[in-house]
Structure 1
Amino acid sequence: MRHTQVKAALAALAVAATLLPTAANAASPSETTSADSPATAAGSPAAAVLATSAGRHAAAVLARAHTAGRVQVAGDAVRYSWPGVYFEGRFVGTGVGIALNDTVNDYDVQIDGATVATLVTPGRTTYWVKNLRYGVHDVRLVKRTESQSGIGEFGGFVAAPGGVVLPRPPDRRRQIEFIGDSYTAGYGNLSPTRECPAPGQLDRNTNADLSFGALTARGLGADYQLNAFSGRGMVRNYNGIEPGTDYRTYYDRALISVPGDVWRNPGTWHPQLIVVGLGINDFSTAINPGEPWTPESLVAAYKTAYQGFIDKLRARYGKRAVIVVSATYVYNTTALADAARQVVQDRNGQGDDRVVYWYYDNADLDYGGCDWHPSAHDHQIISQRLNDFIAALHLRW
C-alpha cells in the first residue's frame, strides 16, 4: 500500500476511535460466527474502537452503514423486507464481518465493486471476508430475493482484528424510487429455463441487484429503492388473487407482511425521479367469474386509483419530482398501454407536467426468466431504454 494510503488509513482509525467507543468481536480467518458471539479481539489499537455484536445499537449500525432502502430500527439491528435493499460501508484492514439474521432471503456480498460471495438463507450469522490486502475497502451487502413474508435483519459491519469500520458513506445526491411488480423485482431473471417449479428454484434464480431499476440507478450514480411486489396490480392482482388487496395495500409499509406497519422516512429520502410500473397484473389475465369487474369498469377503476396514487406521491415527495408512468407490452391486449397513457394525459391536463409516460415494447426481449418474465439479458435492454428516456428528461439533479 502506498505511503499516502497508509497515512489516510491511520487518520481514519483515529477519527473512528472518537466515534466508536466500544470493543468489537472478531473471528479467526476461517470462521463464520454467530451474530451473538462475545468479543474476542484485544490488544490492537483498533480493538478499543470496535463494537461487540451483542452491544451494537441500530443507530450505531446506521452510523457505519449507508442504506437508501426502507428499514426499521429493531434493537441492535435494522429490519427490512422489500427486494434489493442494500447496505454499504467502508473499512480499514484485511477483512470485514457482516452480521445477519435471515432464514429466508439470499444476499450478495461485494468488496470493492466485485461480488465475492452469495449467501443463501444465511440464518443468524456473522459472515466474514478475510485475507484482503491491508487498506481501505468498500463493502456492499444487497438482498437479492423478494419474499413478502420474510423479514431480514442486518446487524452491521465488523472489522477484522487490526482494522476498523469507518463512518458511513454519504447519501448520493441522486435518488430514484422504483415502484412496481415482478418485473421491477427482477423475478426469476437468472433462470436458465422458463419453468421454475422446484422448491427454492425461483429464489435462487432471482437477483434484484440485476433488475432494470438497480442497473439504471447504479449507472446514474443514484441511490434507489425497489418497492416491488410480484403479482400485485393497481386495483386487481394477477388472475384475481387475494381480492380486496392490491399493491396500494402494502406500499406504505417498511415490513410488507405486517398489517398496519408504516415506514418512517428518516428525512434523507427525497427522490427526484419515481418510476411506477403497475398494471401488468391488472390486465394480463382474463376477468374470472365472480370478480367485480367488466373490462370497462376495470380500466375506469385503474385510472381513478392511479390518479389517487400520484396524489399520494405528490404529497410525500413534492411537486418537483418527476413521476414516470411506465407501461410495457402485454400479450393480446393494449389495455395497460392505453390506460397508462390516459392517466398521464389527464394529469397533464390538470397542470401537472412533471408526470410523463414511458412505454417499452418487447423488441429484442427473450422473456427467458421464470414464468416468462424478463431475463437478465432483458433487464439490461430495458435499463438502456430507460436510461435513454431519462436522458431526454433533462433532469436538474
Structure 2
Amino acid sequence: MILLAAGAPLALLLGVLLPHLWFVGLVWVPLALTLIGLDALFTSSAPDFNLQFPGSVEVGAPLVVEIDVDRSGSVRPALEFAIATGPRLIPRADDRVRLGPDEASALLAFTAIRRGTDGLRQLWLRWTGPLGLVWRQRVETITRNVVITPDIRPVRNAAAMLLRDAQIGEMARVDRGEGSEFDALAEWQSGMERRAIDWNHSARHLKLLARENRIERNNQIVFAIDAGRAMCEPVAGLPRIDRAITAALLAAYSALKLGDRVGLFGFDSKPRIASGTVSGTRAFPLMQRLAGELDYSTAETNFTLALATLAGDLTRRSLVVVFTEFTDQAGAELMIRAAANLMKRHLVLFVVLEDAELEVIAAAEPRAIDDVSRACAAAAMLRERRIVVSRLRHLGIHVLEAAHDAVGPALVRQYLDFKRRNLL
C-alpha cells in the first residue's frame, strides 16, 4: 500500500509538468503489483525453530523463553517473533523480539504476577521477502503450561545467612544460659545472675553452683495468612498475599531448621487451609505446596470465625503470626476483639506491610484540588491504620511493620528475638 501510494504524487507531478505523458503514470500501478507478486513468490518458507522454557516458575520471578532457530538453509531472512500468554504472565519489556539474518537464538522474558497454572498460548512468526515488500506470517498454538509457585528465593538466599549468623553468634550464646530447660551445673562466676544459683547443690558441694539452661526446642509456630479482598491488592506489582506467603515460608524454614514445629492456616470469609503442625526441614515442601493452594479471594475477611477456629485447633501455647491488612475501622474492631481472645493463651504477632503508596500520596506537594483530596484521604487512612496498630500494641499484641522486600528477614529476626527472650 505504501509503495502504491508513493506513486500517486509522482504521477500527479508528471501530469502537471508533462501533460502529454500523463499515461506514463498508469504504468506505476502494474509495476508495483508485479514487484509485490515477485517478492511474495520468492519469499522463503519459515525456518524450523524450538522453544525452551521451564515448566514452573516462582511468582514475581522472570520466565525466560529461549527461541532457537535453524539457520542451516541458504536463505536466512530476518525474523520477528511474538508470544501471547495468559493473564498471570506479563512481558517484562516487549512481547516481541527480532532476529537478524545471522542470529540463531533470542530470549523473551515474562514476569509471573500470580500463583496458579498459566502458559504460553500462541506464537506469531513473520518475515519479509527478498525485496521487503510483503510479510509472511505463521501462527502456532502452544500447549505447554507453566506452574507458578510461591516465591522461595529468599529461603534459598537469605535463610542460610540468617541462620548462620544466629547459630554462630547470638543463638550460640542464647542456646545456653537464657532458656527454660535445664542443661548443666557450672561453678558460679562474677557476672552471672544470682537467681541462677542452685542453693541445694551449692550446699552439697560446698561451693556456689549455677544452673545453665538452654532454649526450649519443639516450640509451636502457626502462620495465619489472611486471603481476603484487602490482601489481594498489589504491592509493587505483586498481591500482598504473595508477599506474606514468601515471608511466612522464610520464617517457617528457619523455625523448622531450629527444631520448632510449624503450621499453616489460611482464611478469608471462613477457614480455607489448616495444615496442622509439622517438624523437620523435610516437611518444608509440604508447607510450600499448601501455601500455593491458598487462592486469591474477593470476600471480606471474617476474623472472628477464623481466629476462633484457630484457637480451638491449638492444644498448646503457640506463637501465632497473623498476616493481614487493615482497611476499615469496623473490620479492625472485630479483628482486635478476636485477637484479644487469642492472646489469652498464645503469643500473637501481627505482620503488616508498609503502604508506601499511601505515604507518597499523603506527602506529595498538591498542585491541583484533586491532589488535596487524595492527600487528605491518604492521610486519614494512614491515621486509622496507626490507631489500629496502637490499640493492638496496647493489648500486648506484637506488631511488625516492614516494607514488602524486607518483611521476611524482619520476621525471622523477630522470631529469633522471641526465642532469645524466652517468650515462646
Taking structure 1 as the reference length, the TM-score comes to: 0.31
Taking structure 2 as the reference length, the TM-score comes to: 0.29
Bigger relative CO (Cα 8 Å, ≥ 6 apart): 1
Higher strand share: 2
Higher helix share: 2
